Amino acid sequence: MAKKKTKFMCQDCGYESAKWMGKCPGCGKWNTMVEEVEHVQTGRRGAFSGAVSSSVKRKPEAITTIKTVEEPRIFTKSSELNRVLGGGIVKGSLVLIGGDPGIGKSTLLLQCSAQLADQKHKVLYISGEESTKQTKLRADRLGVTADHLFVHAETNLEMILDAINEMKPDFVVVDSIQTVYHADITSAPGSVSQVRECTGELMRVAKTNSIPIFIVGHVTKEGSIAGPRLLEHMVDTVLYFEGERHHTYRILRAVKNRFGSTNEMGIFEMKEAGLQEVLNPSEIFLEERSKGAAGSVVVASMEGTRPVLVELQALISPTSFGNPRRMATGVDHNRVSLIMAVLEKRVGLLLQNQDAYLKVAGGVKLDEPAIDLAVAVSIASSFRDQVSNPVDVVIGEVGLTGEIRRVSRIEQRIQEAAKLGFQRAIIPAKNIGGWEAPAGIEIIGVETVSEALKYTLGG
């Protein structure tokens, strides 16, 4: 009999303690310490065929003598998913997809599995939350009829590994990792020990057999992946599926990617027949724009290698409280407060007794400095009740002294604006030169916020 040992583990951060505590010393949260039984493993690890034994000794190698083989990536039919993954699926990669309940994680992976199965790849879809009949009903609604797609309703990790060993699939999807349990661990499925051990086993299978594995992770009410942060450190790629449940557009964003950039973004539209990729998101974000309203400004933002034009909306109104309110959706709250302080100090706008509400239309989140000038222009437009020119696009970073600093990839931003019919671009003066502007758009370089307001608002 293996010797058992009792310990207490935090279900949020994975902190271990020999005794129970009301407050976790690791993350500071209350009532998250749960008693778990720890004992020696029974030897299941390494039982999967092809697994590398831990007793094999390896010698250190000089990095110049290591030979690398550039393996081609596997492409799905979704260019948006390929973009976020860094150019396709890498063999042997472990990909974690998180998102709010009902946002479309299972729908995205089922459609991706069908696309890979249509290319004659053998795909194993493991469902821990639905039966095979329920998965079949969802597949019928999405129009999935792939012969090489196999569905397996199982939560026992040993059974899952046996199914992978017998079937030898090209791709595996586990939906979700919080429902899978290891029989040798006495804690409940979804606990820190279960999630950590099950993910470790799946990672070994993926690496030793070159099988790409996609796993779905539930998120907490704060929006992070449920379970320990170790889960995100173990996998190769972490994708977040974002979007409002009451809107049809979904954004797939990479927050970690060992095989590509973490700045890429994929946009999908949820329809009755499933998710459909949006190839030109700028048109979608600007299609409902009201061109005669004060406080509306268009900015060209870079999401990875893709320029995206979105509308910034600001509403400035006199406050009825002692402290004015500052609310922002899609942009950083602290950035808005900083820009309002610059407008008050350097431009002379009396904003200390005004409530400020800012929003990025379409549910997009912008976090780059190049949107600063557009935020400043939208706030000044609403405060003065002056309509900015609807054919202007505003780009630039604002400094604390009111200067406009240069931004990166200005040429791609201007080309996207010209393609959508904008006639004038307000950009930093330092960005002018060294590139040729497309025909049909006027480039105006500004050095201060006051100068930018003269061109956009006439004063």
Structure tokens at 260: 């590509």
Q: Would the annotation count 105 as a binding residue?
A: yes
Identify the H or E element spanning 188. none
Identify the H or E element spanning 354. strand 354-360
- Residue 407 near residue 428 (C-beta atoms within 8 A): yes
Asked if the peptide bond before residue 290 counts as cis, ω within 30 degrees of 0, the response is no
What separation in angstroms does the CA of 357 have from each of 124, 326, 339, 368?
48, 6, 13, 19
User: What gap in Å lies between CA 131 and CA 154, rounded to an integer?
Assistant: 9
- Note every long-range contact of 28-34, with CB atoms under 8 Å and residues 24 or more positions apart, other chains counting: 33/8, 33/9, 34/8, 34/9, 34/10, 34/187, 34/191
What separation in angstroms does the CA of 34 have from each of 7, 11, 22, 364?
8, 7, 10, 38
Between strands 94-99 and 16-17, the pairing is: unpaired
Q: Would the annotation count 243 as a binding residue?
A: no
Q: Would the annotation count 103 as a binding residue?
A: yes
Which residues touch 207 (CB under 8 Å, ≥6 apart)? 92, 94
Q: Would the annotation count 17 as a binding residue?
A: no
Between strands 326-329 and 306-318, the pairing is: unpaired
User: What gap in Å lies between CA 48 and CA 44, rounded to an integer?
Assistant: 8
- Residue 252 near residue 84 (C-beta atoms within 8 A): yes
Q: Would the annotation count 143 as a binding residue?
A: no
3-state secondary structure of 419: helix
3-state secondary structure of 342: helix
Structure tokens at 154: 């199982």
Structure tokens at 1: 């009999």
Q: Would the annotation count 99 as a binding residue?
A: yes
Q: Would the annotation count 101 as a binding residue?
A: yes
> Around 232, how many Cα atoms within 13 Å sit in the side-chain half-sphere?
20
Residue numbering of the annotated binding site: 99-106
Residue numbering of the annotated binding site for ATP: 99-106
